[in-house]
Structure 1
Amino acid sequence: MLQLFENAFRLPDKIAVIDSQGSYTYGDLLRKSAAVASYLLNGKTDLHQAPVAFMVSPGFDYVSVQWGIWRAGGIAVPLCITYPFPSLLYVVEDTGAQTIVYGPEYAEILAPFETTERIRMVEISEVPQSADVDLPEIGLDRGAMILYTSGTTSLPKGVLTTHANIQSQISTLVQAWEWTERDHTLCLLPLHHVHGIINVVSCTLWSGATVQFLHPFDAVRVFDVFLEGKVNVFMAVPTIYFKLISHVETLDDTGKKSISDCLAKFRLMVSGSAALPVSVMEKWQVISGHYLLERYGMTEIGMAISNPLHGQRRAGYIGMPLPGVDVRICDENDQETQDQPGEIQVKGPSVFKEYWGKPEVTSKSFTADGWFKTGDIAVVEDGYFRILGRDSVDIIKSGGYKISALEIEEILRTHPEVKDCAVVGVPDEEWGELVAAAVIADAGLDVKALNVWMREKMPAYKTPRQYRILSELPRNAMGKVTKNELKTLFQR
């Protein structure tokens, strides 16, 4: 039996999940996931790694379906609940999933699949609450899950992880961040990405702790839950912290103090999935007393690098390699570099098996000696890794220089009139690429004055040559800015 389920059997009466419908024990979760597994098997003894797609809202049913697919021997394929139909169709067709499990609220958008003979549609209410059935023995080398990359630089790729990969990803974080069954966390994150599925939900349930779901996001409700005094671990993306800060700033002094006193009792707060602006880090520290723990990971590798739970956390740095994860910095010839920027490469049991149905892409993503090439550029300073950006979108090659878009963004965000920003490289015949900045600010922002200000903060060759003032930045479901969309805007 998989370790995740063995741990659940130890604590049958402990509260595992809280959602809008109520509280559920580990025993409830084991019974419902067994019923889901039985229903999916439909008389078979094993799904034999067949992909099963599911579109279920965050909560008890989501976890029951995911566990049920695993316990039946299938590969879980979570569908993003905010995607339009063409994006859902892409995932279903790419994986070849022949079963889709869904919540009734998604019946309308999934309706076109009802006419597809090869696809079995299972509405979650059809599944009984429990079932007595022999379930297959699941080996760690089996495929467990297919998650899709963000698609910020190309079409999304299906990332196949095995149960061994997932077990390594979870146990590494449980050890590094000292999870225990006394922990209680609030999940606000999308559950079609590794941040929500592994870091929050799976680490919680592996540890015998409690995960509470709040969907959809609402800043007022988040603080209501915090003020109940049960939550002590919280993980979010920078955009969520930004929204929470904005809400706190609307409160009177009494309200602010109440929230600050509550947050000071948390044992851990983490930020990830996108670069955390230092300005957000500093504002949150004033509110909560916590210096957010930044870490680095990808769909393909889980988490690989983290600031320490105990010890110095550095703003703008992602920290040091996690236990059991080998990390190196390499040049363009995959040779390890010392004290120079280079690509982060990772090796270890947490690294994914393959890109689904893409053997050539998989092969090109690994070095000859088995290191995964992340495409992220970083430098190591005093043992701490600092991300300079993604080679394809965040490293701007202009006039012979390699310029970090993230460095420019960090400076821009310190301007008093700039609420947020994103920097990209725009193709140019003379320079190769020009530095261009999209800025969230009031329409009255004086761009010329902003540019003068920037030139006082950094070398002229790094300062933007073009600016656009926007009301919001284009983002994907995880809050990452989709920079290719921004490039198109500047090119128009």
Structure 2
Amino acid sequence: MTVTTSANLPPIAQAAIARRNAPAIVSNGGAHQTYGQLLNSAALVHRRLVERSAVELEGQRIAFLCPPSFDFVAVQWGAWAARSIAVPLCTTHPPAELEYTLRDSGAAVVVYHPSFEDRLEPLREKLASVAWISLEDVMAAEDADETVSNAADLLSEEDEAAWKDRGALMIYTSGTTGKPKAVLTTHGNIQAQVKSLAEAWKFTPQDRILNVLPLHHVHALSMPLWSGATCEFMPFHAAHVWERWMSEKRDLTAFMAVPTVYAKLLQYYDTMSPTQQAAARDACRQFRLMVSGSAALPDGLFRKWEAVSGHQLLERYGMTEIGMALGNPYAGPRIPGTVGKPFPGVGISIRDASGADALADADGTVSGDLFVSGPQVFKEYWNKPEATQKELSADGWFRTGDLVSRDANGVHRILGRASVDIIKSSGYKISAPEIEREAMSCPIVKDIAVLGLKNEEYGETIAAMVVFAEGEEEANVATLKTFLKDKLAHYKIPRRYLAVKELPRNVMGKVNKKQLVGYFDDQQ
């Protein structure tokens, strides 16, 4: 039965009408759902939200806990149809972290997949004012598999201007400077991010992207759907990804991941037989675009991936607060270790410690703090006016907290986080990413994180947490030190080392270096 509803959706969903019979989502296992089915399910979610909520939904926070799937998109769009702010919850978080997010956001409703019921159970009594809605109940209300007969009724009659300043999405940052902060983006912010990326990366309805990343990131979900493309979801497992790529379909056009994912794909590739490797290389020809981000891409990984796949990974730079800001060119050579030039509509400013525009060196290089402006920049940190005022100026410039250099050709290189990646030792300011890049070119190093440890004599001591390929730690450390002596000034070579089997990373492949300090404390 078709749902009738007064729900409205923002302009981000306009492509759904034109493509209502086309595939929008392909779930793990191969089931296809159309844009029309997506609209219908969003309407079902909206209706149940209205039925179950005791408050006016406009402006309220609707939290949801769903695996990467059709349901994730349907709930997000359903929340937007209610003019609410969507708050995606991390599927790997324990109850305590979920509780923090729900309390901090002031969520009025939690929509959840039945598979997470046990994890949420301890929170029901603590958060008695929250309305809890199982997706099982939502989809049982009507037959959600039927296509909407008049899908246009689900879209707002308001124009983009009416939606521009409405809160749309609340994403929690990784919290490297304390408890996670909620980044509030508006529909106008998301629309600007989507248009910029779609233009730069040439997305069309003919594209099909395989998603193995968390879905709240605009480039992996909202941008393809706005473009009318098809999004396919698959939990990351290197063997399964290669199997999908090597299937007879050969219908994928784009893949976006973090360096860790590409490294694991290469590790699995190395276990294949020569015949399988040839088939794997051939399978990579179906793609027109492969993107890497969220963490620095080692030069060696860039070159090995190119040798195997034929693709130069497009490295880009972005943040939750700004979407994508910088990227290597879609067409043309991509320089390893750089993040290219600004995306369309993005303003970039490099400033010195006083806040003035940084001056160029003799060779034309400009270095300093990176600031970003434009319609894609977030609205505020939720309920944190002081933090917002500190990082976001009245005229719309956001201080990223990253240090950057720009060469005479306008190509940018990220030097690191000002707070954790710039180590002040013996009077020198030392870039941790520079040391990491050089160390990753050593054959015995699989992964590394470099950080500063407080030290009375030097200010900070350079430390390295290293994943070695094999062998005994003491001998490996000696080999790495010798290797780095030919690559770096003596004061840049780490003094302390800790060998581990794997670096602790979050779901986006990022390492929280402030947390790594504790590992070295335990070593003493």
Scaled to the shorter chain, the TM-score interval is: over 0.9
Q: Following the alignment from structure 1 to structure 2, what is the Cα–Cα distance between the partners of residues 221 and 120? A: 37
One-letter amino acid of the structure 2 residue matched with residue 160 of structure 1: L
CA contact (8 A) 1:2 1:140 kept: no
Residue deviations 1:89-117, cap 9 Å, x none?
A: 11000000021000011000000232232
CA contact (8 A) 1:150 1:156 kept: yes
Describe how 1:17-416 pairs up with structure 2 within 5 A. 17-20=25-28, 22-42=31-51, 47-115=57-125, 116-127=127-138, 128=141, 129-130=143-144, 139-192=163-216, 194=217, 198-215=218-235, 217-227=236-246, 228-339=249-360, 340-367=366-393, 369-381=395-407, 382-416=409-443
Q: Following the alignment from structure 2 to structure 1, what is the Cα–Cα distance between the partners of residues 272 and 28? A: 26
Deviation at 1:400, TM superposition (A): 1.5
Match of residue 444 from structure 2:
417
Deviation at 1:289, TM superposition (A): 0.2
Q: Following the alignment from structure 2 to structure 1, what is the Cα–Cα distance between the partners of residues 44 and 315? A: 38
Q: Following the alignment from structure 2 to structure 1, what is the Cα–Cα distance between the partners of residues 417 and 50? A: 42
CA contact (8 A) 2:172 2:183 kept: yes
In structure 2, list runs of 5 or more residues that go unmatched. Answer: 1-8, 361-365
One-letter amino acid of the structure 2 residue matched with residue 362 of structure 1: T
In structure 1, list runs of 5 or more residues that go unmatched. Answer: none
**Larger displacement relative to structure 2 (362-371 or 133-142):** 133-142
- Asked whether 1:490 is paired with 2:520, we answer yes
Describe how 1:449-464 pairs up with structure 2 within 5 A. 449-464=479-494
CA contact (8 A) 1:153 1:393 kept: no
Match of residue 507 from structure 2:
477
Deviation at 1:134, TM superposition (A): 7.5
Which SS does the other structure have where 1:110 is aligned? Answer: helix
One-letter amino acid of the structure 2 residue matched with residue 16 of structure 1: A
Deviation at 1:43, TM superposition (A): 8.0
One-letter amino acid of the structure 2 residue matched with residue 316 of structure 1: G
**Larger displacement relative to structure 2 (338-347 or 61-70):** 338-347
CA contact (8 A) 2:451 2:464 kept: yes
CA contact (8 A) 1:330 1:337 kept: yes
Residue deviations 1:457-482, cap 9 Å, x none?
A: 11001110111111111111211012
Which SS does the other structure have where 1:20 is aligned? Answer: coil
Residue deviations 1:218-242, cap 9 Å, x none?
A: 1111112212301110000111001
One-letter amino acid of the structure 2 residue matched with residue 12 of structure 1: R
Match of residue 23 from structure 2:
15
CA contact (8 A) 1:439 1:469 kept: yes
Q: Following the alignment from structure 2 to structure 1, what is the Cα–Cα distance between the partners of residues 483 and 452? A: 20
Residue deviations 1:51-87, cap 9 Å, x none?
A: 0100001111111001110111110000000111111
When normalised by structure 1's length, the TM-score is 0.96
Residue deviations 1:383-427, cap 9 Å, x none?
A: 100000000111111112111100100111111111111100011
Q: Following the alignment from structure 2 to structure 1, what is the Cα–Cα distance between the partners of residues 498 and 303? A: 26
Q: Following the alignment from structure 2 to structure 1, what is the Cα–Cα distance between the partners of residues 15 and 331? A: 26
Residue deviations 1:282-307, cap 9 Å, x none?
A: 11101100000000000000001111
Q: Following the alignment from structure 2 to structure 1, what is the Cα–Cα distance between the partners of residues 245 and 177? A: 36
Q: How many residues align?
A: 487
Pairwise CA RMSD of aligned residues? 1.7
User: Closer, same or farther in 2 for the Cα pair 1:201/1:369, shift >3 Å?
Assistant: closer
Deviation at 1:278, TM superposition (A): 1.0
CA contact (8 A) 1:306 1:321 kept: yes
Q: Following the alignment from structure 2 to structure 1, what is the Cα–Cα distance between the partners of residues 214 and 227? A: 21
Which SS does the other structure have where 1:419 is aligned? Answer: strand
Q: Following the alignment from structure 1 to structure 2, what is the Cα–Cα distance between the partners of residues 333 and 312? A: 35
Q: Following the alignment from structure 1 to structure 2, what is the Cα–Cα distance between the partners of residues 275 and 71? A: 37
